[in-house]
Structure 1
Amino acid sequence: MTEELLTKYSAAVPRYTSYPTAPHFGTQIDAGTYGDWLSALSDGQTLSLYFHIPYCDRLCWFCACHTKHTLRYEPIAKYLASLRREIETIGGKVTRGARVTAIHFGGGSPTMVKPDDLRDLMAHIRTHFTLDPKAEISVEMDPNDLDDARYDALADIGMTRASLGVQDFNPVVQKAINRIQTFEHTKSVVDAVRARGVHSVNCDILYGLPYQTIESVEATVAQILSLDPDRVALFGYAHVPWMKKHQTMIPEAALPDAMERFRQMSRAADMLIAAGYEPIGIDHFAKPADTLAIAAREGTLRRNFQGYTDDAADALIGMGASSIGQLPQGYVQNIPATGEYERMVDEGGLAAVRGIALSDDDRLRADVIERIMCSFGFRFSDIRNRHGALAEAVIAEAKAFAAAGRDGLCRIESDGFWLTETGKPFARVAAARFDTYLGNGKGRHSVAV
């Protein structure tokens, strides 16, 4: 990879965990519309539930999530009461004939929730939704929150996948991002959840952090590999201080430049692949027998607000402040402010305040963008079969994109558009070529690589 090519194509573009992306959601989709969409779900459809816990007992300066710092449990307890009320309201609108096949607790730090409250929350979910006996239950975990009582509670609720944020084990990097977490502590968490029967462990690594070097990334990846995780997510740090003011605490002069970021990413990826992990999309790796790797090989890999997934549910229902849902009709987002969220759901209503209804063109472009992000291309026959004559416009755009390219990023085959090995690191840039919303000036994004 030449520095010239990297500079040319490292544009600031969306991560495409949805299309249209969140900056284009509008207030035309409100609680009333959302209620109608929920009621339209039918027997036999499958559901994925996401629960957002927007609290942390430390604020990591690299984080771009909707969360807030607290050392008191009272705000969390109050929030959980509102979350249970939202579960009741949404559960009352969704047919019990729809099956929940996946549950994800994210944040923030869901592991701040006390053990009995965690058990109570899961009992509430089971009371108001129909859970598939084989439903996957995943939890984002902060090792600093965990103790034996919480491990036991996570086992009691049926957790099947533990997701641990590592970022980097180098103490200089950790201090710069306010995330002190030793390898030994992280290993104790992995050992504890596996001892309680959790079948899958996911670890997150970040590159592009302040004071990171190729050597520190190599050392972190080697330590991660010694934990033998089933999946590894390799994310580029997104420096967006205009969105997240606490990121101003990160010394910008210590951030690696675009070429160094690319070298860090490439070295980490090479190490993971050499260890037997299969590359998944632009930033995930999984053991060959993992369901994510199987989905990638079979062409059924999906992408949503949690990143890459093999979750094929018909609808994703987000609960909690700022959470986003994806239903057949479109996207919907809850109000981010926790106080307003609590007020709205405590009054017996829904907290949805924005979203977007999908047009046929949106569905077509969402399909094409997802396939580029998941499979680095798409077959013309597939999108013709799914979208009919509407597909011809996008096929023409793909052909024009390939014909105009002078850097060998993509190619046209007899029945498809595909990124080359040179083009794969720029999948987000390629996806952006099919985004008709991007040019309207809404939203600022992180760099593509």
Structure 2
Amino acid sequence: MTQTLPSRITESVPRYTSYPTAPHFHAGVDADVYRQWLGELKPGQRLSLYVHIPYCDRLCWFCACHTKQTLRYEPVRSYLESLAAEIATIGALIPAGVEVGALHFGGGSPTMVAPQDMIDLAARLKEHFTFAADAAISVEMDPNDLDVARYDALAAIGMTRASLGIQDFNPEVQQAINRIQTFEQTRQVVEEVRSRGVRSVNCDVLYGLPHQTLLTLEHTIDDVLSLSPDRIALFGYAHVPWMKKHQTMIPEAALPDAAERYRQMMRAAAKLVEAGYQPIGIDHFAKPDDSLAVAARNGALKRNFQGYTDDVADALIGLGASSIGFLPQGYVQNMPATGEYQRLAEAGELAVIRGIALTDEDRLRAHVIERIMCDFSLSFADLRRLFPVGADKIVAEARQLAAIDTEGLCRVDSEGFSLTAQGRTMARSIAAAFDAYLGNGKGRHSMAV
């Protein structure tokens, strides 16, 4: 039987890791505003920290992250000194009684950092921030960087979750994206971190890559399942060469079309569910006893710049070049240019150069979009309880959206708005219908699937 494909699969829409999305940040939210927002944090509130390491020793052509290649360690060491200065500056502005509940090292390649430098960086963070006893520490890992000393250093800083980028194990696909990484390398990483007490392992897999087929993707999924990770992220490759010039190295003729991407997504997801993993939102899967799966079942799933999370922090502090933070008042972003970021940090200044202050309508629509992305549904009762002003407007928009839906993607009744099974695959597009900023022409986005 031929599978019916949603007409929206070729749409370009945001991933909604924030609302409003980053293209709508502006210079009106600057370092002075950020300083004020930090000072308004209250004792008893909980923080998450994100530390960005914008360096790799090789440049993967599929990557859309803010990073640069270096074969010398000196730029990394210099950057870490600037990062230490920023940590001290921000730490001094955080009111007493605010605790850190989660720390995430991302990049780039945090595992490029030399072992003693990683230990020193963690010590600097604990010197200037108060960490909860149960704080989670996660690290994005490149198997090509790792050695015994680095494994030991990550164990020494208390890493609780290892996140491994896999993408695809097929050699032809790896060659086309400049990411050579064998299954044996990856298996060794999993064994090494688990032998050091890390009990949570996440693996990232991509579909929609050059030369990728249903068969090659199925083989990769089988290999990943043999590692028994606690979580698996199944992302669609975001081809954005207008934003990331190195993606022009990827042969566009070898990329699967939208229909093939959709089939790859559906087949990979089915295999993961067949293996016992619980689907989480649009692109995550977890073992049923994993905290992410528990949060999803309890309606407590959240979404931020790291994707789906069970983190209940009141604020996210972004550290490092290009990092984005979130506070109750709005979003902030650091200077992306590494050299200018370092100049600001070393001068003892806050490196924030743009952001956005949330309006009441922003908060309302952010809630709507997050619930659609996390729960695939929206309770009208909850909406009216949380947002008594403005809720009726959203209810009317939801009813109108369901009324014009000719493909059976969503439904509405007196209780609320929900997505059908096929509609869940189009959650980004459906969420976009509630985005009041999307039509103003700012920003280009990746394909909906």
For this structure pair, what is the TM-score category when the shorter chain's length is used for normalisation?
Answer: over 0.9
Deviation at 1:2, TM superposition (A): 6.8
| Residues 3 and 28 of structure 1, relative CA distance in 2, 3 Å threshold | farther
Q: Mapping of 1:247-266 within 5 angstroms?
A: 247-266=247-266
Report the equivalent of 2:391: 391
The amino acid across from 2:77 in the alignment is A
Report the equivalent of 2:233: 233
Report the equivalent of 1:193: 193
Report the equivalent of 2:72: 72
The SS at the match of 1:448 is: coil
Q: How many positions carry a matched residue from both structures?
A: 449
Report the equivalent of 2:404: 404
Q: Mapping of 1:144-183 within 5 angstroms?
A: 144-183=144-183
The amino acid across from 2:237 in the alignment is Y
The amino acid across from 1:198 in the alignment is V
The SS at the match of 2:336 is: coil
- For 2:326 and 2:419, the matched residues in 1 are separated by 28
Is the CA contact 1:10–1:426 (under 8 Å) kept in the aligned structure 2?
A: no
- For 1:439 and 1:334, the matched residues in 2 are separated by 26
- For 1:4 and 1:225, the matched residues in 2 are separated by 28
Is the CA contact 1:86–1:350 (under 8 Å) kept in the aligned structure 2?
A: yes
The SS at the match of 1:342 is: helix
Report the equivalent of 1:440: 440
The SS at the match of 1:165 is: strand
Is the CA contact 2:8–2:448 (under 8 Å) kept in the aligned structure 1?
A: no
Give the TM-score normalised by the residue count of structure 2: 0.99
Deviation at 1:390, TM superposition (A): 1.5
Matched, 1:210 2:210: yes
Deviation at 1:4, TM superposition (A): 6.8
- For 2:320 and 2:395, the matched residues in 1 are separated by 39
Q: Mapping of 1:82-161 within 5 angstroms?
A: 82-161=82-161
| Residues 412 and 6 of structure 1, relative CA distance in 2, 3 Å threshold | closer
The SS at the match of 1:122 is: helix
- For 1:9 and 1:234, the matched residues in 2 are separated by 17
- For 2:241 and 2:58, the matched residues in 1 are separated by 18
Report the equivalent of 2:381: 381
- For 1:273 and 1:5, the matched residues in 2 are separated by 21
Matched, 1:243 2:251: no
Report the equivalent of 1:313: 313
Deviation at 1:8, TM superposition (A): 3.8
- For 2:246 and 2:83, the matched residues in 1 are separated by 27
- For 1:408 and 1:360, the matched residues in 2 are separated by 31
Matched, 1:287 2:287: yes
Report the equivalent of 2:413: 413
Is the CA contact 2:190–2:201 (under 8 Å) kept in the aligned structure 1?
A: yes
- For 1:103 and 1:445, the matched residues in 2 are separated by 28
Report the equivalent of 2:25: 25
- For 1:21 and 1:224, the matched residues in 2 are separated by 32
CA deviation map 1:22-65 (0-9, x unaligned): 00000000000001001110100000000000000000000000
Matched, 1:366 2:362: no
The SS at the match of 1:422 is: helix
| Residues 39 and 101 of structure 1, relative CA distance in 2, 3 Å threshold | same
Deviation at 1:3, TM superposition (A): 7.2
Report the equivalent of 1:322: 322
Is the CA contact 1:211–1:254 (under 8 Å) kept in the aligned structure 2?
A: yes
The amino acid across from 1:232 in the alignment is I
Is the CA contact 1:3–1:259 (under 8 Å) kept in the aligned structure 2?
A: no
- For 1:404 and 1:6, the matched residues in 2 are separated by 14
The SS at the match of 1:206 is: strand
CA deviation map 1:127-148 (0-9, x unaligned): 1011001000000000000000
Deviation at 1:403, TM superposition (A): 1.1
The SS at the match of 1:389 is: coil
| Residues 286 and 406 of structure 1, relative CA distance in 2, 3 Å threshold | same
CA deviation map 1:246-286 (0-9, x unaligned): 00000000000111111111111111101100000000000
Q: Which runs of 5+ in 2 are unaligned?
A: none
- For 1:138 and 1:385, the matched residues in 2 are separated by 35
Deviation at 1:222, TM superposition (A): 0.2
- For 1:235 and 1:8, the matched residues in 2 are separated by 18
The SS at the match of 1:407 is: coil
The amino acid across from 2:373 in the alignment is M
CA deviation map 1:62-114 (0-9, x unaligned): 00000000000000000000001100000000013001000000000000000
The amino acid across from 2:418 in the alignment is W
- For 1:409 and 1:176, the matched residues in 2 are separated by 35
Deviation at 1:9, TM superposition (A): 4.2
The amino acid across from 2:36 in the alignment is D
Is the CA contact 1:6–1:258 (under 8 Å) kept in the aligned structure 2?
A: no
The SS at the match of 1:243 is: coil
CA deviation map 1:218-264 (0-9, x unaligned): 00000000000000000000000000000000000000011111111
Q: Which runs of 5+ in 1 are unaligned?
A: none
Is the CA contact 2:6–2:407 (under 8 Å) kept in the aligned structure 1?
A: no
The amino acid across from 1:368 in the alignment is V
- For 1:86 and 1:387, the matched residues in 2 are separated by 37
The amino acid across from 1:105 in the alignment is F
Is the CA contact 1:281–1:376 (under 8 Å) kept in the aligned structure 2?
A: yes
- For 2:5 and 2:122, the matched residues in 1 are separated by 49
- For 2:226 and 2:282, the matched residues in 1 are separated by 23
| Residues 224 and 5 of structure 1, relative CA distance in 2, 3 Å threshold | closer
- For 2:223 and 2:53, the matched residues in 1 are separated by 29
Give the TM-score normalised by the residue count of structure 1: 0.99
- For 2:186 and 2:9, the matched residues in 1 are separated by 36
The amino acid across from 2:329 in the alignment is Q
The amino acid across from 1:375 in the alignment is D
Deviation at 1:14, TM superposition (A): 0.2
The SS at the match of 1:399 is: helix
